[in-house]
C-alpha cells in the first residue's frame, strides 16, 4: 500500500490585549493536549502580545493499517471537545485545558455564541454555531445564545469588504425578534437567550475607555487581517468598526463575571474577537485560567466555495423566508464529494452509521442520493422540526413529475413561493392547448421547444406526463379550481394561478 501523504498547516493566532507569559505562569502551556489526535501547541512571547501556533496534521484517506485514525463513539464518549474534533467541528482552541474542563466529571460549562441581528433570520452560515451549542447541551452543559442588539449597531468588519449599512431601530427590533424565534424553535427549552443591549445601554464612554481601552494595544488591533485589508482598501475603515473587537471582548467579560459563562464559540473568522474576550478577562479579573474560546471552521464545499448560498441568495433558517421544502431540496442536491463531511458536521448521527453510508456509496447497488436524502432529512428535522420535515417530504414526493401522489391546493401552497408563477384568467387557460399554455406561462420560450420536449416525454401537467401534442386544458385539470402545475423535466416548473 502506498504511504499516506501528509500535509501540515500552521495558524497564527493573536489577541489585541497585551499579554505575557512570565516564569511564574510558565505552567500555562499549550503542550500535551490529552486524548485528541492533535499535535502540540506552541507559544512564543513578545513584549506586546502572544503568538499561539497550532499545528494540525491531516492524512489522506489511504492511511496505513498500522496507524488507523481513532474513532469516537457518541454513545460511549462523553467529552464534547473530543466529539467536536472527531466530527471536524474544531478549528482552534485558546487552551487545551478546555478538554478537561468539558469532561463529564467536571462542573457543567456555560457556553455562548453570539448572533448579530443584521437580518430577520439566521442563515446556514450560523447553523454551525447552533449545532455546536447543541452538542454542548447534549453532553450536559448549558448553551447561551447572545443576540447582538448593541453590536449590530456597530457591525463586525470580519470578512467584510465594506462597512455594513446602518440599521434603524425598527429593523433592529424586528430582526431581533425573528432571530430569537429561530433560536428558540431550534434549541427549544435547551438555551438561554440574552441581548447585549441590556448591559451596553448602561455603559458610559469614559468608563469604557478607562476600564477596557487601557488594556488594548492599537498596533495589535491593526495587525488583524480583516483590519489590514480594510485599511488598504479605497473605502478604509471607520473608528466605529475598528472598536468592534473590544465590544465583543467586553461581552465575554460581562457574561463571565455576571452569568458564569466560561466558553465562547464562533467561526474561525471570530478568533481575534474571541481572544479579545479571554485576554480581557485575564487582565481585568486577574484570572489566568477559566475562560476559553473555541472556533469551528467555515462551512465550505470541496471546491473551496462557501456552502450556504444558492442562486437565489442565502439559505435562511426561518420558514417565513425559506420554506422547509426548499431548505430540504438544497441539502438533497449536495454533491457526493461533500455529503459525508456534511453528515458529520451538520447532523447528530453516530459516526458508525455515517461510515456505513460512505461504504454503501462505493458499493454495487447503491441508490443515488441515498446519503443526500439522509442529510436533508436530519438537517431539516433539526431546523424545522418533525412537522417541517413531513411538509418537505410530502411536497417533494407530490411535486416529482410522474409521482402517483395526487396534488391538492394545500400541498401546492406549501411550495408556491419556491416555484415561478404567473396569473392568467380562466378563459386564458381552459380549452387552451398545453403547448401554447406552457409558452404563455413562461415555461418555454417557443412552441417548438415545448413540442420537442413533449415528444421526448419530458412535459408534465400536474405531474402527469403528456404524450399528445393536441392536449388541451380541461376544467378538471385545474387543482381545486385554483392552479395548474406545469413541469419541463424534473426541475423546471411553473405554477399557473387562475385569477
Lowest-confidence pick of 187-191, 270-274, 357-361: 187-191
**Which pLDDT score, from 0 to 100, does residue 43 have?**
36
**Which pLDDT score, from 0 to 100, does residue 22 have?**
37
User: Which of the four pLDDT bands, split at 50, 70 and 90, describes residue 302?
Assistant: confident
Closest by Cα among 149, 35, 169 to 102: 35
Burial class (CB in 10 A: 0-12, 13-18, 19+), 18: middle
Mean pLDDT, to the nearest integer, of 28-50? 35
Alpha helix positions (H), 119-158: 124-138
Highest mean pLDDT among 30-34, 137-141, 221-225, 479-483: 137-141
Q: Which three cell numbers stand for residue 98?
A: 478546555
**Which pLDDT score, from 0 to 100, does residue 387 have?**
93
Q: How far is the C-alpha of 204 from the C-alpha of 207, rounded, in Å?
A: 5
**Which pLDDT score, from 0 to 100, does residue 127 have?**
95
Determine the longest span between alpha carbons in the chain, in angstroms: 90
Q: Give, as one character, the DSSP assignment of residue 435.
A: H
Determine how β-strand 142-147 pairs with β-strand 50-59.
unpaired
**Which pLDDT score, from 0 to 100, does residue 97 have?**
92
Beta bridge partners of 110: 142
Alpha helix positions (H), 351-441: 351-361, 370-398, 409-415, 434-440
**Which pLDDT score, from 0 to 100, does residue 8 have?**
41
Closest by Cα among 140, 175, 168, 139 to 153: 168
Q: How far is the C-alpha of 420 from the C-alpha of 312, rounded, in Å?
A: 12
Dihedral-angle region of residue 279 (phi above 0 means left; psi in -120 to 50 means alpha; beta otherwise): alpha
Q: Which three cell numbers stand for residue 78?
A: 462523553
Q: Is the per-residue pLDDT at 299 higher than 50? A: yes
User: Which of the four pLDDT bands, split at 50, 70 and 90, describes residue 74?
Assistant: low
- Find out whether 233 and 298 touch, Cβ atoms under 8 Å: no
Supply the mean pLDDT for the chain. Answer: 80
Which is more confident, 24 or 159? 159
Residue 144 CB neighbour total at 10 angstroms: 22
User: Which of the four pLDDT bands, split at 50, 70 and 90, describes residue 163?
Assistant: low
Q: Which three cell numbers stand for residue 323?
A: 420554506
Residues whose CB is less than 8 angstroms from the CB of residue 449 and which lie 6 or more positions away in sequence, other chains included: none
CA 106 to the chain's CA centroid: 29
Closest by Cα among 475, 122, 497, 486 to 317: 122
**Which pLDDT score, from 0 to 100, does residue 58 have?**
35
What 3-state class would DSSP assign to 111?
strand
User: Which of the four pLDDT bands, split at 50, 70 and 90, describes residue 40?
Assistant: very low
Residues whose CB is less than 8 angstroms from the CB of residue 212 and which lie 6 or more positions away in sequence, other chains included: 246, 249, 250, 253, 280, 284
What is the dihedral sign for C-alpha 351, 357, 363, 369?
A: negative
Q: How far is the C-alpha of 398 from the C-alpha of 392, rounded, in Å?
A: 10
Closest by Cα among 47, 53, 73, 59 to 6: 59
Backbone angles phi, psi at 105, to 5 degrees: -80, -15
Lowest-confidence pick of 205-214, 248-257, 374-383: 205-214
Closest by Cα among 431, 400, 433, 432 to 415: 400
pTM of the model: 0.77
Q: Is the per-residue pLDDT at 29 higher than 60? A: no
**Which pLDDT score, from 0 to 100, does residue 48 have?**
31
Beta bridge partners of 59: 6
Q: How far is the C-alpha of 168 from the C-alpha of 171, rounded, in Å?
A: 5
Lowest-confidence pick of 92-106, 298-312, 481-495: 298-312
User: Which of the four pLDDT bands, split at 50, 70 and 90, describes residue 160?
Assistant: low
Q: What are the tens digits of pLDDT across the range 340-352?
A: 999 999 999 999 9
Which is more confident, 51 or 71? 71
Which is more confident, 274 or 73? 274
Amino acid at each position: 500500500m502506498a504511504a499516506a501523504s501528509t500535509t501540515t498547516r500552521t495558524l497564527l493566532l493573536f489577541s489585541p490585549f497585551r499579554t505575557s507569559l512570565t516564569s511564574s505562569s510558565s505552567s500555562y502551556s499549550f503542550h500535551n493536549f490529552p486524548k485528541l489526535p492533535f499535535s502540540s501547541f506552541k507559544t512564543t512571547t513578545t513584549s506586546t502580545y502572544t503568538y499561539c501556533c497550532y499545528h494540525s496534521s491531516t492524512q489522506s484517506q489511504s492511511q496505513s493499517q498500522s496507524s488507523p485514525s481513532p474513532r469516537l463513539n457518541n454513545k460511549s464518549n462523553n467529552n464534547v471537545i473530543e466529539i467536536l474534533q472527531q466530527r471536524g467541528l474544531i478549528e482552534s482552541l485558546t487552551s487545551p485545558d478546555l478538554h478537561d474542563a468539558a469532561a463529564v466529571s467536571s462542573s457543567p460549562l456555560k457556553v455562548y455564541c453570539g448572533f448579530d441581528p443584521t437580518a430577520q433570520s439566521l442563515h446556514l452560515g450560523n447553523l454551525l454555531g447552533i449545532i455546536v451549542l447543541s452538542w454542548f447541551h447534549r453532553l450536559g452543559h448549558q448553551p447561551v445564545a447572545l443576540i447582538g442588539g448593541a453590536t449590530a449597531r456597530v457591525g463586525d468588519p470580519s470578512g467584510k469588504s465594506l462597512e455594513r449599512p446602518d440599521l434603524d431601530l425598527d429593523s433592529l427590533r424586528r430582526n431581533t425578534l425573528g432571530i430569537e424565534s429561530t433560536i428558540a424553535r431550534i434549541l427549544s427549552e435547551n438555551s438561554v437567550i440574552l441581548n447585549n443591549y441590556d448591559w451596553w445601554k448602561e455603559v458610559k464612554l469614559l468608563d469604557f475607555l478607562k476600564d477596557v481601552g487601557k488594556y488594548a494595544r492599537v498596533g495589535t488591533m491593526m495587525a488583524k487581517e480583516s483590519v489590514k485589508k480594510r485599511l488598504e482598501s479605497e473605502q478604509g475603515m471607520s473608528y466605529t468598526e475598528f472598536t468592534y473587537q473590544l465590544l465583543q471582548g467586553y461581552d465575554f467579560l460581562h457574561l463571565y463575571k455576571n452569568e458564569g459563562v466560561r466558553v465562547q464559540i464562533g467561526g474561525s473568522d471570530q478568533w481575534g474577537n474571541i481572544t479579545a474576550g479571554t485576554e480581557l478577562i485575564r487582565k481585568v479579573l486577574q484570572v489566568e485560567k477559566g475562560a476559553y474560546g473555541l472556533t469551528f471552521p467555515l462551512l465550505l464545499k470541496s471546491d473551496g466555495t462557501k456552502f450556504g448560498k444558492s442562486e437565489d441568495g442565502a439559505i435562511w433558517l426561518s420558514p417565513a423566508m425559506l420554506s422547509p421544502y426548499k431548505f430540504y431540496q438544497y441539502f438533497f442536491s449536495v454533491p457526493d464529494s461533500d455529503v459525508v463531511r456534511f453528515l458529520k458536521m451538520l447532523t447528530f448521527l453516530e459516526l458508525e452509521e455515517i461510515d456505513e453510508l460512505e461504504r454503501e456509496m462505493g458499493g454495487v447497488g447503491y441508490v443515488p442520493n441515498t446519503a443526500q436524502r439522509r442529510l436533508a432529512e436530519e438537517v431539516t428535522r433539526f431546523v424545522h422540526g418533525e412537522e417541517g420535515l413531513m411538509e418537505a417530504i410530502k411536497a417533494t414526493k407530490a411535486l416529482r413529475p410522474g409521482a402517483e401522489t395526487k396534488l391538492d391546493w394545500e400541498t401546492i401552497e406549501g411550495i408556491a413561493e419556491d416555484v415561478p408563477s404567473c396569473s392568467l384568467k380562466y378563459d386564458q387557460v381552459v380549452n387552451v392547448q398545453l403547448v401554447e399554455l406552457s409558452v404563455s406561462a413562461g415555461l418555454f420560450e417557443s412552441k417548438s421547444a415545448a413540442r420537442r420536449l413533449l415528444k421526448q416525454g419530458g412535459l408534465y401537467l400536474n405531474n402527469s406526463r403528456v404524450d399528445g401534442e393536441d392536449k388541451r386544458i380541461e376544467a378538471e385539470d385545474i387543482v381545486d379550481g385554483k392552479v395548474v402545475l406545469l413541469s419541463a423535466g424534473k426541475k423546471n416548473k411553473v405554477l399557473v394561478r387562475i385569477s
